Amino acid sequence: DAMVIQNPRYQVTQFGKPVTLSCSQTLNHNVMYWYQQKSSQAPKLLFHYYDKDFNNEADTPDNFQSRRPNTSFCFLDIRSPGLGDAAMYLCATSRGGTYNEQFFGPGTRLTVL
């Protein structure tokens, strides 16, 4: 089945230790998104790729970076995680224009010790 896959599902890191979260998709969608969702809050868009074009939200901290080496894969790099970065990180994809119907992966829950 076509899907959005996120690895790992749970990630524990130490304060200040870089961490990378992965997302892959078999839907062949051209747009990929990264969201941060904290407990009982709405998903907050961090950035998205339209094909190879990177689009950063204005209020996304510099601590968060992303890479998209090909259509199928997208990575979220957190350079120096702080305690406030503990959250669920959701990857999503859409086809065609930006912000069309989005298909979400199961998420990676990040814990920062």
- Is residue 52 a contact partner of residue 106, using CB atoms and an 8 Å limit? no
Q: How open is the CA angle 48-43-98, to the nearest 5 degrees?
A: 30
Provide the minimum distance between the beta carbon of 106 and another protein in the complex, in angstroms, as a whole number: 5
**Residue nearer to another protein on the CB measure, 65 or 102:** 102
Q: Binding residues for another protein, per CB under 8 A?
A: 40-45, 55, 57, 90, 92, 98-107
Contact partners, residue 24, CB within 8 Å, separation at least 6: 4, 5, 7, 72, 73, 74
Provide the minimum distance between the beta carbon of 25 and another protein in the complex, in angstroms, as a whole number: 14
Provide the minimum distance between the beta carbon of 65 and another protein in the complex, in angstroms, as a whole number: 20
**Residue nearer to another protein on the CB measure, 7 or 100:** 100
Closest CA to 65 of 76, 54, 74, 73: 76
**Residue nearer to another protein on the CB measure, 26 or 80:** 26
